A and B are shown apart, each in its own frame.
Chain A
Amino acid sequence: MNARHWIGVVALCGLSVAGAELLRADPVPPTTPSVAAPARTVELRTDDAQTDALWARLRRLEGELRDTEGELHAAEVPSSAGEAQMSDEPLPSPEELAERRAIYRSQLEDILDAETQDPTWGPQTESTIDESLRTFGNEHVTVHGLECRATLCRLELTIAEEGDPMGTMDGLMGRPGFTLPGMANMETDPDGTERVFVFLARDAEGGLPQPPA
């Protein structure tokens, strides 16, 4: 239970007590007119003035409570880096996203480079992926590197614009080797050619290591 939970609990208790008090303190008014009616009106006017004063005081209290709520929220330790950011954060620019992609790729490459090739899974998966690329048969696709080690595969392609880069990637998905969980980044070379970096994970359930927060 954190502080906000306690506020909620105390508030509920307050409402319950108040409700009970009101039921006892405010019996059903007499319906029969009586000579005491004018005095009742005066009493209500007095109540109105008091209520206005109470409301003014409560508005101040509300402000203070909201300030406290804000301080409590700010003081909370986030359970993950993502939760520490609010929805009104400015969206990252395309350039910032490209930078993040490069960092993530670099991290995956470091992992892969540190691995020793599994003598069975590595060559077998490379062969499967290569076969899928060849049978897909797009003359505008050039393979710049294909490597599978122990838990990861790395594939780099360039696809000329006339080769429909996005359609090509779609066409490869689900083919043998490309059924593994993975990630693709598409970066544009200065001449307009699309360079695609693909990483595939051996672990079908776990997928790739998470990118940096």
Chain B
Amino acid sequence: MQKTKRSSIVLAVLGALGLLVGGPTASFASYHPQFHHSGSMCVSTGGSRGYYNQGIISNLSYSSSMNLFCPMVRENDNTQVGTVSVHLRDANHGEGIQCSFYDVEAYGRSWAWSGWKTSLGGGASNIGTLSWDINSVRDQYAGYNHIRCTLPPRTSDGTSYIASYRAGE
């Protein structure tokens, strides 16, 4: 009985040790994070900014467009960004919401942008998503990412807004 018990303790501790060494690494090997951001994380210039409890950011101005800079959390050392998406409502039939994804080198002396995309249509029910597939980042150590959008003026159909944006595999 004593020998069996001792063996059991050894097995248990070895098992725990094995998990300590092998377990976390094995599970993280296939870990692909997604980072989701509330639209209220965006900062704005121009227009008239409105924040709502859902975390939405909108342009309340009837005459001016609003520029948005939406910072994005990025995992250190990760060379892949994956799919970047912006979830929005475009209430302006004429102008649409225009967005691009930015990948910037440390110190801001080099920056790359994805093709600018514009939401089509318009109106109170025009909810949609703009997406880009980003293969790799240019400065994996100190570079940073953000989404740059322009929200058109408000119309009788309502305000155009960014609800959220995300990046990840």
CB-CB under 8 A from A32, the residues of chain B are none
When the two chains form their complex, are residues B140 and A174 in contact, meaning their CB atoms are under 8 A apart?
no
- Least CB distance from A7 to B in Å reads 3
When the two chains form their complex, are residues A54 and B10 in contact, meaning their CB atoms are under 8 A apart?
yes
Most buried by B among A69, A97, A186: A97
Interface 1/0 per residue, B103-124 and A, CB below 8 Å: 0011101111111100000000
CB-CB under 8 A from B15, the residues of chain A are 11-18
In whole angstroms, what is the CA distance A180 to B116 when docked? Answer: 7
When the two chains form their complex, are residues A10 and B18 in contact, meaning their CB atoms are under 8 A apart?
yes
**Which of A117-125, A138-146, A149-157, A205-213 is found at the contact surface with chain B?**
A205-213
Q: Which residue of A lies closest to B69 (CB)?
A: A170
CB-CB under 8 A from A82, the residues of chain B are 77, 79, 136, 140
A110 within 8 A of B: no
In whole angstroms, what is the CA distance A2 to B12 when docked? Answer: 23
Q: How many residues of B are counted as interface, with CB atoms below 8 angstroms from the partner's CB atoms?
A: 51
Q: How many residues of A are counted as interface, with CB atoms below 8 angstroms from the partner's CB atoms?
A: 62
A35 within 8 A of B: no
Most buried by B among A12, A69, A101, A181: A181
- Least CB distance from B90 to A in Å reads 15
* Residue in A87, A98, A174 whose beta carbon sits within 8 Å of that of B116 in the complex: A174
CB-CB under 8 A from B114, the residues of chain A are 181, 207
**Which of B19-27, B35-43, B158-166 is found at the contact surface with chain A?**
B19-27
CB-CB under 8 A from B79, the residues of chain A are 80, 82-83
When the two chains form their complex, are residues B113 and A173 in contact, meaning their CB atoms are under 8 A apart?
yes
A116 within 8 A of B: no
Given A14-B11, A97-B139 in contact, is the A185-B109 Cβ separation under 8 Å? Answer: yes
Judged by DSSP, the binding face of A is helix
A183 within 8 A of B: yes
B148 within 8 A of A: yes
When the two chains form their complex, are residues A89 and B141 in contact, meaning their CB atoms are under 8 A apart?
yes
CB-CB under 8 A from B73, the residues of chain A are none
Given A14-B15, A186-B110 in contact, is the A173-B100 Cβ separation under 8 Å? Answer: yes
CB-CB under 8 A from B105, the residues of chain A are 97, 101
When the two chains form their complex, are residues B100 and A22 in contact, meaning their CB atoms are under 8 A apart?
no
B44 within 8 A of A: no
Most buried by B among A11, A26, A180, A204: A11
Given A91-B142, A173-B100, A174-B150 in contact, is the A61-B17 Cβ separation under 8 Å? Answer: yes
A128 within 8 A of B: no
* Residue in A25, A174, A181, A184 whose beta carbon sits within 8 Å of that of B110 in the complex: A184
B-side residues, CB < 8 A to A, are 1, 4-23, 25-27, 29, 76-77, 79, 98, 100, 105-107, 109-116, 133, 135-136, 138-142, 148, 150
20 contacts between A and B (CB under 8 A): A4-B25, A7-B22, A10-B22, A11-B14, A11-B18, A18-B9, A18-B12, A18-B15, A22-B12, A50-B6, A54-B9, A66-B21, A69-B21, A83-B79, A85-B140, A94-B109, A97-B106, A97-B139, A98-B109, A186-B109
